[in-house]
Amino acid sequence: MINITVNGQHHEVDADPNMPLLWVIRDILGLTGTKYGCGAAQCGACTIHLNGEAVRSCVTKLNRAAGQRIVTIEGLSANNDHPLQLAWNELNVPQCGYCQSGQIMSGAILLRENSNPSDQDIDDAMSGNICRCGTYQRIRAAIHKAAAMQTEGAKL
């Protein structure tokens, strides 16, 4: 049994320690918001937060997460009201939507560390998340919007 905490909930997982964390999250815990894209850490669709870092769960083994804290897209906010989620909704960012949970999880790390990112900062943080629909311009706009919302929220 391997203990992990996912979105604040404790789980004891009976699985091979070498199983990709993505399989555990999707197939054992049933949290299917995190997507399988390439399986080679090349696309970013499987991005989750492991102890506050945007790791790629397709190449991260379960044993790396033992005793650690995981957050998936389902746990990013209590009511889908993270500034990025609100901005994503407002600007209709997704097209097919497959990569978007990974995009938002990566964007969340950027906004946590840089409350007012420039276009260059966004490029630096987001270039590892591929979108085959090419929604990059809307992703960029939504991150700027979320940053503004976050700053406004902090003032209230």
Partner 1 sequence: MKKLIVIILLASVTGMVTLSFRPETVKTDKYLISPKDSVGSVKAFMSVYTVLKSARCMNCHPAGDSPLQGDDSHIHTMNVKRGADGKGLYSVRCSNCHQAENTAGLHMPPGNPKWGLPPANMRMVFQGRTPRQLALQLLDPKQNGGRTKAQLIEHMAHDDLVGWAWHPGDGRTLPPMSRPAFAAQVRLWIAKGGYAPSAKAK
Determine if 131 is a binding residue for partner 1 (CB under 8 A). no
Determine if 83 is a binding residue for partner 1 (CB under 8 A). no
Select the span of 6-14, 27-35, 76-84, 116-124 touching partner 1 (CB under 8 A).
Answer: 116-124
Q: Which residues pair with 137 in a beta bridge?
A: none
Nearest distance, CB of residue 156 and partner 1, angstroms: 26
Which listed residue (10, 12, 30, 40) binds partner 1 by CB under 8 A?
Answer: 40
Residue environment code for 67-100, b if the CB has 16+ CB neighbours within 10 A, otherwise e: eeebbbbbbbeeeeebbbbbbbeebebbeeebbb
Q: Which residues contact 97 (CB under 8 A, 6 or more apart)?
A: none
Structure tokens at 141: 């706009």
Determine if 140 is a binding residue for partner 1 (CB under 8 A). no
In terms of CB distance, is 11 or 61 closer to partner 1? 61
Determine if 47 is a binding residue for partner 1 (CB under 8 A). yes
Amino acid sitting at position 8: G
Q: Which residues contact 5 (CB under 8 A, 6 or more apart)?
A: 11, 68, 69, 70
Q: Are 33 and 72 in contact (CB under 8 A)?
A: yes
Determine if 53 is a binding residue for partner 1 (CB under 8 A). yes
Determine if 97 is a binding residue for partner 1 (CB under 8 A). no
Determine if 69 is a binding residue for partner 1 (CB under 8 A). no
Binding-site ranges for partner 1 (CB under 8 A) = 40-42, 47, 53-56, 59-61, 64, 105-107, 109-110, 113-114, 121, 123-129
